[in-house]
Chains A and B, each alone.
Chain A
Amino acid sequence: MRHIISINEVSTEEIDDILDRASEIEEGDYDPDLLNGKILANLFFEPSTRTQMSFVSAMLRLGGKVINLGSVEASSIVKGETLADTVRVVSGYADAIVLRHPKEGAARLASEFSNIPVINAGDGAGQHPSQTLLDLFTIRQSMPLDGINVGFLGDLRYGRTVHSLATALSRYGVTIHTITPQGLELPPSLTHDLVETGTQIVVHEHLEDIIADLDVLYVTRIQRERFPDPGAYASVAHGYRVTPEMLADVSERFILMHPLPRVDEIDPEVDTMPCAKYFEQARNGVPVRMAMLQKVLL
């Protein structure tokens, strides 16, 4: 049985396999009855639009069916049921679980109590491996992953997509450039881990200092829901915004990414620029998650 909990546990060969399979799927090369008779249980303890719906879409496109936890308020969670018990029960109803939960390590716990595969769809400020895979897929559509310059702008402290993606990119010899409001830098332990793999991390004060040298700029929203107090959030909110003018001198292959939802980080006028790939990125969630479901369910 194969769980997908953290990108750290997925080998580079497996990453490449999933991305290759997603490319084939994107070109229409898949069996729409491949997962006929299989049931996926979506357990989302936190709000989600893209991740939840794209997993549903991926499962339906492969001929499988989906059951949902529904709202947390309408489930036994409000009666005090533990996650461990919920997972034990649900693993009797389905063939795989997709879990999103506000607590870090929730998916690891779920994998210990489940007798069916668990896919982590985001655990607090921790890991979000399916997002990482679709991010890598989106970059790979425009350029090879090896040795590129990737900028991360925004909340790098609480933004789980950044943690997973930076870790995965470190296997491809990239240089990471960070531009963050004060206090939202990469967690020190992650920085240390990245440096230990030989990844170069360059810290910049302003996006303008580095934008012309970047191949990818990955923008994130400030994770208001993860701030310990509203005052700390207010002090950094609305601190940055990417506008068309800021992208005037980017390189030819440059792409702009964002895991969405965005708030004010990217001016809507950027949306029509050829480098803006964030809606394509969201769309890529379906073929990548189809490839993941195929991997854990067959």
Chain B
Amino acid sequence: MKRKPEEGLLISPIRNGTVIDHIDGGEGLSVLRILGITGRTTESLSVATNVESLQMGKKDIVKIENRELLKKEVDRISLIAPKASINIIREYQVKEKIGVEIPSEVIGVIKCPNPGCISNANEPIQSSFACQKRGYRCRYCDTLITRDIASYII
């Protein structure tokens, strides 16, 4: 039986799909971007942005119907929303909770901003970045990305 929305909830529960909660306030649309979800894709979405949160002050929530995120997609989210929690929903129930962990190495996710980097040439390799204290460092050319990581997502 469909559960009643709780009082004060801004967006409705979904039957099947994924709920991404605890996204830093204002980053919800970036999360959609790195998942490749745009106005032209077919997913049914709900996005709540800058919602009051006891833990975070402001947070964003994204609900995607009929799509369960894969591990690779979860890793992508960690780049811009490291505190996010991901709930896989089936028949209105949370069937799986996936915590986001910042990987020590990010492969094939970020494009190196250095046009002279071999990872941007026509070679059979994927981009590879090491996660460091100050940002993400390219394995090939040592370029360090310290901010606006979302704009480098492949």
Contacts and interface: CB of A to CB of B under 8 A. Distances in A.
A189 interface: yes
Contact of A104 (B123, B140, B144): B140
Contacts, number: 52
Interface string B123-139: 11100000000100011
B117 A104 contact: yes
A106 B121 CA distance: 10
- Chain B residues touching A, majority SS: loop
B135 to A, nearest CB: 9
B34 to A, nearest CB: 24
Contacts of A124: 116, 141
Given A124-B116, A189-B144, A192-B134, A105 B122 contact: no
Nearest to A228: B115
B140 A82 contact: no
A106 B119 CA distance: 9
B139 A189 contact: no
B142 interface: yes
B10 interface: no
B143 interface: yes
A145 interface: no
Contacts of A109: 118, 123, 125, 140
B118 A82 contact: no
Nearest to B145: A189
B125 to A, nearest CB: 6
B114 interface: yes
Nearest to A112: B125
A103 B134 contact: no
Contacts of A234: none
Nearest to A85: B124
A103 B125 contact: no
A105 B140 contact: yes
A125 interface: yes
Contact of B124 (A6, A80, A82, A105): A82
A295 interface: no
Contact of B119 (A105, A125, A189, A192): A105
A198 B76 CA distance: 34
Contacts of B138: 105
B142 A189 contact: yes
A297 interface: no
Nearest to B140: A105
B130 to A, nearest CB: 12
A72 interface: no
Given A82-B122, A82-B123, A112-B125, A105 B117 contact: yes
Residue among B124, B138, B139 with most chain A CB within 10 A: B124
Interface of B: 114, 116-119, 121-125, 134, 138-144
Q: Give 8 closest A-B pairs by Cβ, nearest first.
A: A105-B140, A104-B141, A105-B118, A103-B118, A105-B141, A189-B144, A106-B118, A124-B116
